[in-house]
């Protein structure tokens, strides 16, 4: 049986780490986490700690120990894809090939896009923050996200974007967190979707650790 170790960054900040954490949580497979403090400049620095696990120098990293060998996988989407392949019973992609293609498009758009949302609405998982004055590009990107969520929820008619919980939801879960932190106004159907994401057991567990980080003096 494979043994999984997921190396993650500071929970309150690391949106990229949250995504595969939720995917792994959805499989029901046991896994360990290694938490690395981000923005650590004193030795050992954040970069030095991460490089012990992956030459890419970024979190998250998934280590799979199996048959006396260790496989190291990096990048959120690559890790999620690997988890989906190893645990097909978890249904992390839609079974319908057309829906699966669109779900992959959603996940990839999030993976590579929305730079202004990332810049202006930074992840701060357990805090509430005032909405900054959004740039025009940020407003357009927020509107695009909301419209894409509305469209998927209306078309696939489930609790999540493509009916059942999928990697697309994993990829957008940090955006749900951001919208919650900054009080972004959303339509009722999107609000209900956000509430379901926030109530996931994986999100609850992530929140508990994030809260402990803040209570320990995280700036």
8 neighbors 34 (Cβ within 8 angstroms) = yes
Predicted confidence at residue 25, as pLDDT, reads 98
User: What is the model's pTM?
Assistant: 0.97
**CATH 3.40.30.10 given to domain 3-90:** yes
Q: What is the mean pLDDT of residues 1-28?
A: 97
Predicted confidence at residue 47, as pLDDT, reads 92
Q: Per-domain residue ranges for the chain?
A: 3-90, 97-202
Is it the case that residue 1 has pLDDT exceeding 90?
no
Percentage, residues of the chain above pLDDT 70: 100
pLDDT, one tens digit per residue, over 31-89 is 999 999 999 999 999 999 999 998 899 999 999 999 999 999 999 999 999 999 999 99
If DSSP codes are grouped into helix, strand and coil, which group holds residue 212?
helix
Classify residue 59 by its DSSP letter: S
Give me the torsion for CA of 196, 200, 203, 207, rounded to 10°. Answer: 90
| Burial class of residue 109, CB neighbours in 10 A (0-12, 13-18, 19+) | middle
Predicted confidence at residue 7, as pLDDT, reads 98
3-state secondary structure 67-136: CCEEEEEECHHHHHHHHHHHCHHHCCCCCCHHHHHHHHHHHHHHHHCCHHHHHHCCCCCCCCCCCCCCCH
Predicted confidence at residue 210, as pLDDT, reads 98
Q: Name the pLDDT band for 207 (thresholds 50, 70, 90).
A: very high
Predicted confidence at residue 55, as pLDDT, reads 86
Provide the token pair at 26. Answer: 């959805």
Give Dmax over CA atoms of the chain in angstroms: 53
pLDDT, one tens digit per residue, over 176-202 is 999 999 999 999 999 999 999 999 999
Predicted confidence at residue 219, as pLDDT, reads 85
Predicted confidence at residue 190, as pLDDT, reads 98
Predicted confidence at residue 95, as pLDDT, reads 97
Predicted confidence at residue 165, as pLDDT, reads 98
Inter-residue long-range contacts of 65-70, CB under 8 Å, 24+ positions, other chains counted: 65/2, 65/3, 65/4, 65/5, 66/1, 66/2, 66/3
Average pLDDT score, the chain:
97
Q: What is the mean pLDDT of residues 2-6?
A: 97
Q: Would you identify the CATH topology of the domain 97-202?
A: Glutathione S-transferase Yfyf (Class Pi); Chain A, domain 2 (1.20.1050)
Q: What is the mean pLDDT of residues 100-115?
A: 98
């Amino acid at each position: 049986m494979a043994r999984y170790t997921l190396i993650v960054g500071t929970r309150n900040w690391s949106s990229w780490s949250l995504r595969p954490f939720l995917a792994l949580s959805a499989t029901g497979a046991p896994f360990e986490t290694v938490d690395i403090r981000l923005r650590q400049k004193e030795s050992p620095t954040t970069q030095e700690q991460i490089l012990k696990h992956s030459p890419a120098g970024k979190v998250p990293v998934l280590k799979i120990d199996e048959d006396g060998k260790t496989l190291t996988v990096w990048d959120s989407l690559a890790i999620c894809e690997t988890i989906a392949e190893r645990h097909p019973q978890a249904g992390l992609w839609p079974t319908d090939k057309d829906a699966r293609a669109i779900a992959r498009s959603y996940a990839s758009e999030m993976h590579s896009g929305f730079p202004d949302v990332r810049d202006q609405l930074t992840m701060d998982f357990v805090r509430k923050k005032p909405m900054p004055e959004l740039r025009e590009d940020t407003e357009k990107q927020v509107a695009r996200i909301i419209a894409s969520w509305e469209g998927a929820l209306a078309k696939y008619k489930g609790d999540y974007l493509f009916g059942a919980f999928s990697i697309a939801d994993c990829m957008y879960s940090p955006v749900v967190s951001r919208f919650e932190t900054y009080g972004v106004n959303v339509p009722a159907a999107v609000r209900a979707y956000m509430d379901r994401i926030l109530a996931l057991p994986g999100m609850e567990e992530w929140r508990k650790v994030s809260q402990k980080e803040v209570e320990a003096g995280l700036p």
